[in-house]
Structure 1
Amino acid sequence: MYRHVVALQQLSRRTLTSTARRLVENKVPQKQKLFQENNGIPVHLKGGAGDAILYRTTMGLTILGTVFVIYELVKASLPHKKE
């Protein structure tokens, strides 16, 4: 039984570590050049359309959340009608 457990451990290690490494291009210098460029665009929008959509969505949710909190505070501060 113990031999099977040891064999299974060795097999799992081999399958995880013996795969050929993929050649991945280093994109860091390109991204550094893009984000350090002085072109008047804020750094949180330099990533393109995806960053702009994420920024606008975040701002919209923040504004809606703030309005909802103010509404709930006003509702809680006013007396309730008793019927």
Structure 2
Amino acid sequence: MFRHILAFQHVSRRTVASTARRQVDNKVPQNQKRFQEDNGVPVYLKGGTSDALLYRTTMALTVMGVGYVVYELVKAAFPQKK
């Protein structure tokens, strides 16, 4: 049992401290070019479909939240008679 724990520690330490890393392309210049071009699209929608979906979901939840708050305020302002 102890031998298995030592082997696991050795493998986990070796994978964490490994110097061989996966090469990742630097996409920052491409993203800067895309987000800085003047094409009339707001910056919060330049990310594509996922940004548009996230924006619309956020706006829908905000409108629903404001509507619920107004409903509760009206309900509290005019209490029901018993």
TM-score tier by shorter-chain length is 0.7 to 0.9
Q: Identical aligned pairs, as a percentage?
A: 66
Aligned to 1:37: 37
Structure 1, gaps ≥5 residues long: 1-5
Q: CA RMSD in A?
A: 2.3
Aligned to 2:24: 24
Q: CA deviation at 1:7?
A: 8.7
1:54 paired to 2:54? yes
CA distance in 2, matches of 1:19, 1:68: 55
Instruction: Report the TM-score when normalising by structure 1.
Output: 0.81
CA distance in 2, matches of 1:8, 1:59: 49
Equivalent pairs counted in the alignment come to 81
SS of equivalent to 1:44: helix
**Runs ≥4 residues deviating over 3 A:** 6-12
Instruction: Report the TM-score when normalising by structure 2.
Output: 0.82
Q: CA deviation at 1:40?
A: 0.7
Deviations 1:30-78 (A, max 9, x none): 0000000011110000111111111011000000000000000100111
Structure 2, gaps ≥5 residues long: 1-5
